[in-house]
Structure 1
Amino acid sequence: MVEEGHLTRAAERLGLRASSLSQQIIALERELDAALFVRTQAGMTPTAAALALLPHARRILEEAELGARAVRDTMGRPLRVGVTPGAPPAVLATLYAEAVEIDDLPAARQLDLLRRGALDAGLLALPEDVDGLRVAVVSERPLGVLVSDAHSLARLDEVGWEDLTGLDLLLYERKLAPGYHDRLLADCAAAGWRPAHVRTGPPRRSLFVAELRHGGDVVALRPREEPAEGLRWLPLREAPVVRHALVWDPAHESSERIAALV
Protein backbone atom coordinates (compact mmCIF):
# COMPACT_ATOMS: atom_id res chain seq x y z
CA MET A 1 0.00 0.00 0.00
CA VAL A 2 2.84 2.40 0.81
CA GLU A 3 4.45 1.70 -2.56
CA GLU A 4 1.24 2.01 -4.61
CA GLY A 5 -0.48 4.78 -2.67
CA HIS A 6 -3.87 3.56 -3.92
CA LEU A 7 -6.13 0.84 -2.53
CA THR A 8 -7.30 -0.65 -5.85
CA ARG A 9 -3.82 -0.78 -7.39
CA ALA A 10 -2.34 -2.31 -4.23
CA ALA A 11 -5.10 -4.94 -4.14
CA GLU A 12 -4.50 -5.84 -7.81
CA ARG A 13 -0.79 -6.22 -7.14
CA LEU A 14 -1.55 -8.60 -4.27
CA GLY A 15 -4.25 -10.52 -6.13
CA LEU A 16 -6.94 -9.40 -3.66
CA ARG A 17 -10.23 -7.54 -3.82
CA ALA A 18 -9.92 -3.94 -2.67
CA SER A 19 -12.61 -4.51 -0.03
CA SER A 20 -10.65 -7.44 1.42
CA LEU A 21 -7.41 -5.46 1.58
CA SER A 22 -9.24 -2.54 3.21
CA GLN A 23 -10.65 -4.85 5.89
CA GLN A 24 -7.19 -6.28 6.60
CA ILE A 25 -5.73 -2.79 6.97
CA ILE A 26 -8.54 -1.79 9.34
CA ALA A 27 -7.99 -4.95 11.41
CA LEU A 28 -4.25 -4.22 11.66
CA GLU A 29 -4.94 -0.62 12.69
CA ARG A 30 -7.23 -1.88 15.45
CA GLU A 31 -4.63 -4.37 16.64
CA LEU A 32 -1.92 -1.70 16.73
CA ASP A 33 -4.31 0.97 18.04
CA ALA A 34 -2.90 3.39 15.48
CA ALA A 35 -4.00 4.80 12.12
CA LEU A 36 -1.70 3.64 9.33
CA PHE A 37 -3.12 5.59 6.41
CA VAL A 38 -4.96 8.81 5.77
CA ARG A 39 -7.68 8.12 3.21
CA THR A 40 -8.21 10.87 0.63
CA GLN A 41 -9.85 11.15 -2.78
CA ALA A 42 -6.40 10.91 -4.34
CA GLY A 43 -5.48 7.68 -2.56
CA MET A 44 -3.91 6.46 0.70
CA THR A 45 -1.17 8.43 2.44
CA PRO A 46 0.94 6.60 5.06
CA THR A 47 1.00 8.06 8.56
CA ALA A 48 4.08 8.35 10.77
CA ALA A 49 3.04 5.07 12.41
CA ALA A 50 2.98 3.31 9.03
CA LEU A 51 6.41 4.64 8.09
CA ALA A 52 7.78 3.48 11.45
CA LEU A 53 6.31 0.01 10.87
CA LEU A 54 7.44 -0.24 7.24
CA PRO A 55 11.10 -1.35 7.70
CA HIS A 56 10.06 -4.01 10.22
CA ALA A 57 7.31 -5.28 7.91
CA ARG A 58 9.76 -5.48 5.03
CA ARG A 59 12.20 -7.51 7.13
CA ILE A 60 9.41 -9.91 8.07
CA LEU A 61 8.43 -10.32 4.42
CA GLU A 62 12.04 -10.85 3.41
CA GLU A 63 12.43 -13.56 6.06
CA ALA A 64 9.19 -15.20 4.93
CA GLU A 65 10.40 -15.19 1.32
CA LEU A 66 13.73 -16.69 2.38
CA GLY A 67 11.86 -19.42 4.23
CA ALA A 68 9.62 -20.12 1.24
CA ARG A 69 12.66 -20.17 -1.04
CA ALA A 70 14.39 -22.67 1.23
CA VAL A 71 11.36 -24.95 1.00
CA ARG A 72 11.17 -24.53 -2.79
CA ASP A 73 14.85 -25.37 -3.09
CA THR A 74 14.07 -28.79 -1.62
CA MET A 75 11.31 -29.26 -4.21
CA GLY A 76 12.98 -27.82 -7.29
CA ARG A 77 12.76 -24.44 -8.95
CA PRO A 78 9.57 -22.34 -8.68
CA LEU A 79 7.05 -22.70 -11.47
CA ARG A 80 6.77 -19.82 -13.93
CA VAL A 81 3.14 -19.01 -14.80
CA GLY A 82 1.92 -16.45 -17.32
CA VAL A 83 -1.27 -14.50 -16.59
CA THR A 84 -3.33 -12.16 -18.75
CA PRO A 85 -4.88 -8.84 -17.69
CA GLY A 86 -8.30 -9.47 -16.16
CA ALA A 87 -7.29 -12.81 -14.64
CA PRO A 88 -9.59 -13.88 -11.76
CA PRO A 89 -8.33 -12.37 -8.47
CA ALA A 90 -9.11 -15.54 -6.49
CA VAL A 91 -7.03 -17.66 -8.86
CA LEU A 92 -4.18 -15.14 -8.75
CA ALA A 93 -4.25 -15.27 -4.96
CA THR A 94 -3.94 -19.07 -5.10
CA LEU A 95 -0.97 -18.85 -7.45
CA TYR A 96 0.78 -16.29 -5.24
CA ALA A 97 0.13 -18.51 -2.21
CA GLU A 98 1.85 -21.36 -4.04
CA ALA A 99 4.90 -19.11 -4.51
CA VAL A 100 5.00 -19.40 -8.28
CA GLU A 101 6.70 -16.78 -10.44
CA ILE A 102 4.01 -14.67 -12.15
CA ASP A 103 4.59 -13.06 -15.56
CA ASP A 104 2.09 -10.62 -17.07
CA LEU A 105 1.78 -11.93 -20.64
CA PRO A 106 -0.91 -11.83 -23.36
CA ALA A 107 -2.44 -15.17 -24.32
CA ALA A 108 -0.67 -15.43 -27.68
CA ARG A 109 2.72 -14.90 -26.05
CA GLN A 110 1.93 -17.46 -23.34
CA LEU A 111 1.05 -20.11 -25.90
CA ASP A 112 4.23 -19.44 -27.87
CA LEU A 113 6.38 -19.75 -24.74
CA LEU A 114 4.53 -22.88 -23.56
CA ARG A 115 5.18 -24.68 -26.83
CA ARG A 116 8.86 -23.70 -26.71
CA GLY A 117 9.22 -24.91 -23.13
CA ALA A 118 10.01 -21.40 -21.85
CA LEU A 119 6.92 -21.17 -19.62
CA ASP A 120 5.57 -23.78 -17.22
CA ALA A 121 1.87 -22.86 -17.37
CA GLY A 122 -0.44 -20.12 -18.55
CA LEU A 123 -3.64 -18.59 -17.18
CA LEU A 124 -5.74 -17.24 -20.04
CA ALA A 125 -9.28 -16.66 -21.29
CA LEU A 126 -10.78 -19.27 -23.60
CA PRO A 127 -11.12 -19.94 -26.44
CA GLU A 128 -7.57 -19.97 -27.78
CA ASP A 129 -5.55 -22.47 -29.78
CA VAL A 130 -4.72 -24.89 -26.96
CA ASP A 131 -4.38 -27.97 -29.18
CA GLY A 132 -2.00 -30.46 -27.57
CA LEU A 133 -2.05 -28.71 -24.20
CA ARG A 134 -3.71 -29.80 -20.98
CA VAL A 135 -6.56 -27.45 -20.03
CA ALA A 136 -8.11 -26.98 -16.58
CA VAL A 137 -10.95 -24.45 -16.41
CA VAL A 138 -10.55 -22.52 -13.16
CA SER A 139 -13.13 -19.74 -13.46
CA GLU A 140 -16.41 -18.94 -15.22
CA ARG A 141 -17.71 -15.39 -14.84
CA PRO A 142 -20.42 -13.45 -16.69
CA LEU A 143 -19.33 -10.33 -18.51
CA GLY A 144 -20.60 -6.92 -17.53
CA VAL A 145 -20.25 -3.38 -18.79
CA LEU A 146 -17.38 -1.20 -17.60
CA VAL A 147 -18.07 2.49 -18.15
CA SER A 148 -17.10 5.95 -16.92
CA ASP A 149 -19.07 6.93 -13.82
CA ALA A 150 -19.97 10.13 -15.70
CA HIS A 151 -21.56 8.20 -18.59
CA SER A 152 -25.35 8.12 -18.91
CA LEU A 153 -25.32 4.32 -18.47
CA ALA A 154 -23.75 4.66 -15.02
CA ARG A 155 -27.10 5.66 -13.51
CA LEU A 156 -28.58 2.25 -14.40
CA ASP A 157 -28.55 -0.75 -12.06
CA GLU A 158 -28.39 -3.19 -14.98
CA VAL A 159 -27.70 -2.87 -18.70
CA GLY A 160 -29.40 -4.57 -21.64
CA TRP A 161 -27.78 -5.07 -25.03
CA GLU A 162 -30.17 -2.50 -26.48
CA ASP A 163 -28.69 0.12 -24.13
CA LEU A 164 -25.35 -0.24 -25.92
CA THR A 165 -26.68 0.86 -29.32
CA GLY A 166 -24.46 3.53 -30.88
CA LEU A 167 -21.59 3.05 -28.42
CA ASP A 168 -17.99 2.10 -29.17
CA LEU A 169 -16.36 -1.01 -27.71
CA LEU A 170 -12.88 -0.68 -26.23
CA LEU A 171 -10.91 -3.86 -26.86
CA TYR A 172 -7.28 -4.94 -27.00
CA GLU A 173 -5.42 -5.73 -30.22
CA ARG A 174 -6.59 -8.99 -31.77
CA LYS A 175 -3.05 -10.39 -32.04
CA LEU A 176 -2.78 -10.48 -28.23
CA ALA A 177 -5.56 -13.08 -27.83
CA PRO A 178 -7.19 -13.79 -31.21
CA GLY A 179 -9.47 -16.60 -30.06
CA TYR A 180 -11.12 -14.71 -27.22
CA HIS A 181 -11.18 -11.47 -29.27
CA ASP A 182 -13.17 -13.16 -32.05
CA ARG A 183 -15.48 -14.98 -29.63
CA LEU A 184 -16.33 -11.74 -27.81
CA LEU A 185 -17.27 -9.96 -31.05
CA ALA A 186 -19.29 -13.01 -32.14
CA ASP A 187 -21.16 -12.98 -28.80
CA CYS A 188 -21.93 -9.28 -29.27
CA ALA A 189 -23.29 -9.92 -32.78
CA ALA A 190 -25.37 -12.88 -31.57
CA ALA A 191 -26.94 -10.63 -28.93
CA GLY A 192 -27.82 -8.06 -31.59
CA TRP A 193 -25.18 -5.46 -30.76
CA ARG A 194 -22.72 -4.21 -33.34
CA PRO A 195 -20.49 -1.54 -31.78
CA ALA A 196 -20.36 1.77 -33.65
CA HIS A 197 -16.59 1.28 -33.67
CA VAL A 198 -14.22 -1.23 -32.10
CA ARG A 199 -11.41 0.79 -30.60
CA THR A 200 -8.03 -0.81 -30.08
CA GLY A 201 -7.19 -0.03 -26.48
CA PRO A 202 -3.68 0.25 -25.08
CA PRO A 203 -2.45 -2.84 -23.18
CA ARG A 204 -1.40 -0.81 -20.13
CA ARG A 205 -4.22 -0.73 -17.59
CA SER A 206 -3.75 2.94 -16.68
CA LEU A 207 -4.15 4.03 -20.32
CA PHE A 208 -7.09 1.67 -20.84
CA VAL A 209 -8.82 3.20 -17.80
CA ALA A 210 -8.06 6.73 -19.00
CA GLU A 211 -9.72 6.08 -22.38
CA LEU A 212 -12.82 4.66 -20.70
CA ARG A 213 -13.03 7.67 -18.38
CA HIS A 214 -12.39 10.38 -20.95
CA GLY A 215 -13.02 8.77 -24.36
CA GLY A 216 -16.71 9.64 -24.71
CA ASP A 217 -19.31 7.06 -25.76
CA VAL A 218 -17.22 3.96 -25.17
CA VAL A 219 -17.61 0.87 -22.99
CA ALA A 220 -15.64 -2.27 -22.24
CA LEU A 221 -17.01 -5.75 -21.55
CA ARG A 222 -15.28 -7.30 -18.56
CA PRO A 223 -16.05 -9.76 -15.74
CA ARG A 224 -17.08 -8.22 -12.43
CA GLU A 225 -14.13 -6.56 -10.76
CA GLU A 226 -13.31 -3.78 -8.34
CA PRO A 227 -13.50 -0.86 -10.79
CA ALA A 228 -10.74 1.70 -10.97
CA GLU A 229 -11.46 5.20 -9.71
CA GLY A 230 -13.83 6.99 -12.07
CA LEU A 231 -15.36 3.81 -13.52
CA ARG A 232 -18.46 1.75 -12.76
CA TRP A 233 -19.14 -1.92 -13.50
CA LEU A 234 -22.73 -2.83 -14.42
CA PRO A 235 -24.38 -6.25 -14.78
CA LEU A 236 -25.36 -7.14 -18.36
CA ARG A 237 -28.59 -9.04 -19.05
CA GLU A 238 -28.11 -12.28 -20.98
CA ALA A 239 -24.37 -11.85 -20.62
CA PRO A 240 -21.89 -14.27 -22.19
CA VAL A 241 -19.56 -16.07 -19.82
CA VAL A 242 -15.78 -15.77 -19.92
CA ARG A 243 -13.89 -18.91 -18.94
CA HIS A 244 -10.33 -18.76 -17.65
CA ALA A 245 -8.17 -21.86 -17.74
CA LEU A 246 -4.75 -22.97 -16.61
CA VAL A 247 -2.98 -24.57 -19.57
CA TRP A 248 0.29 -26.49 -19.80
CA ASP A 249 2.17 -29.14 -21.74
CA PRO A 250 1.02 -32.57 -20.48
CA ALA A 251 4.56 -33.85 -21.13
CA HIS A 252 6.04 -31.24 -18.75
CA GLU A 253 8.29 -32.84 -16.14
CA SER A 254 6.23 -31.12 -13.40
CA SER A 255 2.82 -31.74 -14.97
CA GLU A 256 1.27 -33.16 -11.79
CA ARG A 257 2.74 -30.33 -9.72
CA ILE A 258 1.15 -27.82 -12.11
CA ALA A 259 -2.19 -29.66 -11.95
CA ALA A 260 -2.08 -29.41 -8.16
CA LEU A 261 -2.10 -25.60 -8.41
CA VAL A 262 -5.80 -25.75 -9.20
Structure 2
Amino acid sequence: MDIGLALAPQPVDGVAGEILRKEPVSALLSARHHLADTPRIPVTALRDETLLLFPRHLAPAYYDGIVAAFREAGFSPDICAFDEPPVYAMLARLAGGREIGLGPASFAEHAAKTGTGIVFREIVDPPILAELSMLWPANDLSPAIANVLATARRSAEHNKWLHNPTT
Protein backbone atom coordinates (compact mmCIF):
# COMPACT_ATOMS: atom_id res chain seq x y z
CA MET A 1 0.00 0.00 0.00
CA ASP A 2 1.27 3.46 -0.84
CA ILE A 3 -1.62 5.51 0.55
CA GLY A 4 -5.22 4.75 1.37
CA LEU A 5 -8.44 6.08 2.80
CA ALA A 6 -10.29 4.36 5.60
CA LEU A 7 -13.41 4.91 7.69
CA ALA A 8 -12.46 5.20 11.38
CA PRO A 9 -9.46 2.84 11.10
CA GLN A 10 -8.00 0.92 14.01
CA PRO A 11 -4.31 1.60 14.78
CA VAL A 12 -2.00 -0.86 13.00
CA ASP A 13 1.74 -1.29 13.58
CA GLY A 14 3.73 0.11 10.69
CA VAL A 15 0.87 2.23 9.36
CA ALA A 16 0.65 5.97 9.98
CA GLY A 17 -2.66 7.75 9.79
CA GLU A 18 -4.33 11.11 9.99
CA ILE A 19 -7.97 12.17 10.05
CA LEU A 20 -8.77 13.89 6.76
CA ARG A 21 -12.47 14.55 7.16
CA LYS A 22 -15.21 14.46 9.78
CA GLU A 23 -18.74 14.39 8.48
CA PRO A 24 -22.21 13.45 9.67
CA VAL A 25 -23.69 10.01 9.14
CA SER A 26 -26.84 10.20 7.02
CA ALA A 27 -29.79 7.95 6.40
CA LEU A 28 -30.33 6.41 2.96
CA LEU A 29 -33.87 5.31 2.26
CA SER A 30 -36.30 4.62 -0.52
CA ALA A 31 -38.23 7.66 -1.74
CA ARG A 32 -41.30 5.55 -0.81
CA HIS A 33 -40.24 5.10 2.84
CA HIS A 34 -42.52 6.76 5.40
CA LEU A 35 -39.60 8.94 6.63
CA ALA A 36 -38.54 10.06 3.13
CA ASP A 37 -40.32 13.41 3.47
CA THR A 38 -38.54 14.18 6.76
CA PRO A 39 -35.45 16.31 5.98
CA ARG A 40 -33.89 15.85 9.44
CA ILE A 41 -34.52 12.49 11.08
CA PRO A 42 -34.05 12.30 14.86
CA VAL A 43 -32.31 9.15 16.08
CA THR A 44 -35.45 8.29 18.11
CA ALA A 45 -37.50 8.15 14.87
CA LEU A 46 -35.38 5.13 13.87
CA ARG A 47 -36.40 3.07 16.92
CA ASP A 48 -38.60 0.62 14.98
CA GLU A 49 -36.57 0.60 11.76
CA THR A 50 -34.18 -2.03 10.43
CA LEU A 51 -30.83 -0.38 9.76
CA LEU A 52 -28.49 -1.64 7.07
CA LEU A 53 -24.78 -1.40 7.92
CA PHE A 54 -21.65 -3.19 6.87
CA PRO A 55 -20.27 -5.66 9.41
CA ARG A 56 -18.63 -4.33 12.57
CA HIS A 57 -15.28 -5.98 11.81
CA LEU A 58 -14.80 -3.72 8.76
CA ALA A 59 -14.81 -0.51 10.87
CA PRO A 60 -15.39 -1.23 14.58
CA ALA A 61 -15.05 2.37 15.81
CA TYR A 62 -17.51 3.66 13.20
CA TYR A 63 -20.01 0.86 13.90
CA ASP A 64 -19.69 1.30 17.68
CA GLY A 65 -20.23 5.08 17.38
CA ILE A 66 -23.49 4.48 15.56
CA VAL A 67 -24.68 1.91 18.11
CA ALA A 68 -23.67 4.24 20.99
CA ALA A 69 -25.78 7.09 19.57
CA PHE A 70 -28.83 4.81 19.51
CA ARG A 71 -28.19 3.54 23.02
CA GLU A 72 -27.84 7.17 24.17
CA ALA A 73 -31.30 7.72 22.71
CA GLY A 74 -32.60 4.85 24.86
CA PHE A 75 -32.71 1.82 22.58
CA SER A 76 -30.63 -0.74 20.72
CA PRO A 77 -30.97 -0.57 16.94
CA ASP A 78 -32.13 -3.46 14.79
CA ILE A 79 -29.12 -3.88 12.49
CA CYS A 80 -28.83 -6.05 9.40
CA ALA A 81 -25.19 -6.33 8.28
CA PHE A 82 -23.87 -7.51 4.92
CA ASP A 83 -20.55 -9.22 4.34
CA GLU A 84 -19.82 -9.13 0.62
CA PRO A 85 -20.24 -6.73 -1.13
CA PRO A 86 -21.75 -4.66 1.68
CA VAL A 87 -22.37 -1.37 -0.14
CA TYR A 88 -24.07 -2.90 -3.18
CA ALA A 89 -26.14 -5.26 -1.06
CA MET A 90 -27.34 -2.35 1.07
CA LEU A 91 -28.26 -0.16 -1.91
CA ALA A 92 -30.17 -3.00 -3.59
CA ARG A 93 -32.18 -3.66 -0.42
CA LEU A 94 -33.16 0.00 -0.02
CA ALA A 95 -35.33 -0.15 -3.13
CA GLY A 96 -37.74 -2.37 -1.15
CA GLY A 97 -38.71 0.65 0.90
CA ARG A 98 -38.74 -0.82 4.40
CA GLU A 99 -35.11 -0.55 5.57
CA ILE A 100 -32.74 2.37 6.13
CA GLY A 101 -29.07 2.44 5.26
CA LEU A 102 -26.56 4.49 7.23
CA GLY A 103 -23.41 6.00 5.77
CA PRO A 104 -21.17 9.05 5.76
CA ALA A 105 -22.99 12.04 4.27
CA SER A 106 -20.69 12.26 1.22
CA PHE A 107 -21.40 8.63 0.35
CA ALA A 108 -25.12 9.00 1.05
CA GLU A 109 -25.39 12.05 -1.20
CA HIS A 110 -23.53 10.26 -4.01
CA ALA A 111 -25.67 7.12 -3.67
CA ALA A 112 -28.87 9.18 -3.77
CA LYS A 113 -27.78 10.78 -7.04
CA THR A 114 -27.72 7.40 -8.82
CA GLY A 115 -31.36 7.84 -9.80
CA THR A 116 -32.50 4.59 -8.20
CA GLY A 117 -35.29 6.08 -6.07
CA ILE A 118 -33.04 6.51 -3.03
CA VAL A 119 -32.94 9.72 -0.97
CA PHE A 120 -30.61 10.74 1.83
CA ARG A 121 -31.59 12.55 5.00
CA GLU A 122 -29.67 14.11 7.86
CA ILE A 123 -29.68 12.25 11.18
CA VAL A 124 -29.99 14.54 14.21
CA ASP A 125 -30.51 14.55 17.99
CA PRO A 126 -27.74 13.50 18.32
CA PRO A 127 -25.84 13.82 15.07
CA ILE A 128 -23.51 10.87 14.46
CA LEU A 129 -20.07 11.60 13.03
CA ALA A 130 -17.89 9.54 10.71
CA GLU A 131 -14.12 10.04 10.53
CA LEU A 132 -12.33 9.40 7.25
CA SER A 133 -8.56 8.98 7.52
CA MET A 134 -5.55 8.77 5.24
CA LEU A 135 -3.15 5.86 5.85
CA TRP A 136 0.42 5.31 4.64
CA PRO A 137 3.46 3.21 5.53
CA ALA A 138 4.94 4.69 8.71
CA ASN A 139 8.53 3.92 7.74
CA ASP A 140 8.39 5.00 4.06
CA LEU A 141 7.28 8.56 3.42
CA SER A 142 8.32 8.77 -0.22
CA PRO A 143 8.15 12.12 -2.02
CA ALA A 144 5.07 10.93 -3.91
CA ILE A 145 3.25 10.03 -0.66
CA ALA A 146 4.34 13.32 0.93
CA ASN A 147 2.90 15.23 -2.05
CA VAL A 148 -0.42 13.37 -1.89
CA LEU A 149 -0.65 14.02 1.86
CA ALA A 150 0.13 17.71 1.39
CA THR A 151 -2.54 18.01 -1.29
CA ALA A 152 -5.08 16.16 0.87
CA ARG A 153 -4.30 18.41 3.84
CA ARG A 154 -4.73 21.53 1.70
CA SER A 155 -8.06 20.19 0.41
CA ALA A 156 -9.21 19.41 3.95
CA GLU A 157 -8.31 22.91 5.08
CA HIS A 158 -9.79 24.62 2.02
CA ASN A 159 -13.07 22.68 2.34
CA LYS A 160 -13.10 22.93 6.15
CA TRP A 161 -13.55 19.17 6.47
CA LEU A 162 -12.27 19.17 10.05
CA HIS A 163 -14.14 22.29 11.19
CA ASN A 164 -17.74 22.11 12.44
CA PRO A 165 -18.64 18.82 10.67
CA THR A 166 -22.33 18.90 11.65
CA THR A 167 -23.16 21.80 9.33
Tell whether the 8 Å contact from 2:7 to 2:133 is kept in structure 1 after alignment: yes
Gap change, CA 1:193 and 1:219, over 3 Å in 2: farther
Q: In the alignment, does 2:11 pair up with 1:129?
A: yes
Q: Does 1:120 align with 2:2?
A: yes
Aligned to 2:104: 223
User: Which one of 158, 161, 169 corresponds to residue 51 of structure 2?
Assistant: 169
8 Å contact from structure 1 (residues 129, 179) kept in 2:
no
Q: Aligned with 1:152: secondary structure?
A: coil
Find the partner of 1:256 among 124, 146, 150: 146
Question: What is the aligned counterpart of 1:236 among 112, 117, 123?
Answer: 123
Contact kept, 8 Å, 1:161 with 1:192, in 2: the verdict is no
| Aligned residue number for residue 247 of structure 1 | 135
Q: What's 1:159 paired with?
A: 41
What secondary structure does 2:4 align onto? strand
Per-residue deviation, 1:236: 1.3
Task: State percent identity of aligned pairs.
Answer: 27
For structure 1, list consecutive stretches of 5 or more residues without a partner in the other structure: 1-118
3-state secondary structure, aligned to 1:159: strand
Aligned length: 142
**Greater relative contact order (Cα 8 A, min sep 6): structure 1 or 2?**
2
CA contact (8 A) 1:148 1:212 kept: yes
Q: Which amino acid aligns with 2:117?
A: G
Provide the residue aligned with 1:210 in structure 2.
Answer: 92
Counterpart position of 1:194: 76
Tell me, yes or no, if the aligned pair for 1:158 and 1:235 is still in contact at 8 Å. yes
Query: What displacement does 1:177 show?
Result: 2.5
Query: Kindly tell me: are residues 138 and 147 of structure 1, through their superposed partners in 2, closer, same or farther at Cα, counting changes over 3 Å?
Result: same
Q: Distance in 2 between matches of 1:235 and 1:168?
A: 17
What's the TM-score, normalizing by structure 1? Answer: 0.49
Structure whose alpha-carbon radius of gyration is higher:
1
Larger strand fraction of residues: 2
Q: 1:129 to 1:256 in 2, by over 3 A?
A: same
**1: CA distance, partners of 2:123 / 2:40:** 6
TM-score (norm 2): 0.73
Q: Equivalents in 2 of 1:131, 1:155: separation in Å?
A: 46
Give distance in 1, aligned partners of 2:44 and 2:141: 50
Decide which structure has greater helix share.
Answer: 1
